[in-house]
């Protein structure tokens, strides 16, 4: 992985943790996810005006990803309804890099060095150390289940988008179409969640939604672009360094507790990231 891609994915990691804080502090997490995704759909329309429309070979990928992202959004919102950021975020992100690594070994032709594989495993261990420090198994059972299901969606859509971005002809055009579909699918999900009243409910929060939508959109745009030219599993694992930023936010802004396991997990995450950079 080149230093430029490495640095950009770290920026994406920071942005990803930031928009999760926006969702966590919202009074209604589903409303926050709904507004964020709809505004990202508007962002996607703008991107399609600038970048080439993806080739037909990418359309099945982008449709599948749009459906997977909708499931991800619903279960992430439910996770934050029951659990702290310092619990939900590590569990939701913890299994995804391993699932992505397995998926890319099956469906892609990526060549990953032994050092990079070791870095991915070390990073996953660090994330789970952080998750265990939050007494994940003692928490509300629904929190753990929802966060784990969220992780499954993450692993699936990451593989799909990595492959889709490569066959689209232009990764940015693929991202724009994905954002449009994500927004459209979320509109449908929102209708089943709260009917037409959901629009009136979220409009007063449009500023927070716009802020979160821009951060979320930029974060995943960077990731899809990076996966088009670098090993998908390596990019996906490096993105999960966002847990470092999430921990800082949870401790500083949300006053959630720290522990020695979290500190040990941080060292593992940093070591894994260094291995991926090498």
Mean pLDDT on 149-162: 88
pLDDT of residue 277 exceeding 70, the answer is: no
pTM here? 0.80
The more confidently predicted of residues 85 and 96 is 96
**Residues 8-16, mean pLDDT to the nearest whole number:** 87
Say if residue 250's pLDDT is above 70. Answer: no
Out of 29-38, 85-94, 173-182, 262-271, least confident range:
85-94
Mean pLDDT for all residues in the chain = 79
> Could you please report the per-residue DSSP string of the chain?
--HHHHHHHHHHHHHHHHHHHHHHTSSSHHHHHHHHHHHHHHHHHHHHHHSPPPPGGGHHHHHHHHHHHHHHHHHHHHHHHHS-HHHHHHHHHHSHHHHHHHHHHHH------HHHHHHHHHHHHHHHHHHHHTTGGGS-HHHHHHHHHHHHHHHHHHHHHHHHHHHSS-HHHHHHHHHHHHHHHHHHHHHHHHTTHHHHHHGGGHHHHHHHHHHHHHHHHHHHHHHTTS-HHHHHHHHTTHHHHHHHHHHHTS-----HHHHHHHHHHHHHHHHHH-
Which tens digits make up the pLDDT trace of 186-217?
888 777 766 777 777 777 776 777 777 888 88
pLDDT of residue 203: 74
Q: Is residue 134 scored above 60 in pLDDT?
A: no
Where along the chain do its domains lie? 3-277
């Amino acid at each position: 992985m080149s230093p430029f891609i490495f640095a950009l994915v770290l920026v994406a990691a920071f942005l990803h943790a930031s928009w999760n804080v926006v969702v966590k502090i919202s009074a209604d997490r589903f409303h926050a996810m709904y507004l964020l995704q709809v505004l990202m759909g508007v962002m996607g329309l703008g991107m399609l005006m600038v970048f080439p429309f993806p080739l037909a070979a990418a359309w099945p990928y982008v449709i599948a990803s749009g459906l997977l992202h909708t499931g991800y959004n619903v279960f992430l919102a439910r996770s934050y309804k029951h659990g702290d950021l310092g619990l939900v975020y590590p569990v939701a992100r913890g299994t995804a890099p391993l699932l992505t690594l397995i998926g890319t070994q099956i469906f892609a032709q990526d060549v990953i060095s032994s050092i990079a594989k070791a870095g991915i495993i070390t990073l996953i261990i660090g994330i789970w150390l952080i998750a265990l420090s939050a007494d994940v198994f003692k928490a509300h059972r629904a929190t753990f289940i929802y966060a784990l299901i969220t992780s499954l969606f993450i692993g699936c859509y990451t593989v799909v988008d990595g492959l889709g971005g490569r066959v689209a002809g232009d990764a940015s055009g693929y991202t724009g179409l994905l954002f449009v579909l994500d927004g459209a699918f979320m509109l449908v999900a929102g209708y089943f969640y709260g009917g037409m009243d959901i629009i009136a409910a979220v409009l007063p929060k449009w500023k927070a939604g716009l802020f979160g939508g821009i951060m979320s959109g930029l974060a995943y745009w960077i990731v899809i672009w990076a996966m088009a030219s670098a090993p998908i599993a390596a990019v996906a694992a490096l993105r999960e360094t966002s847990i470092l930023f999430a921990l800082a936010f949870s401790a500083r802004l949300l006053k959630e507790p720290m522990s020695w396991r979290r500190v040990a997990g941080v060292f593992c995450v940093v070591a894994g990231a260094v291995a991926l950079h090498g």
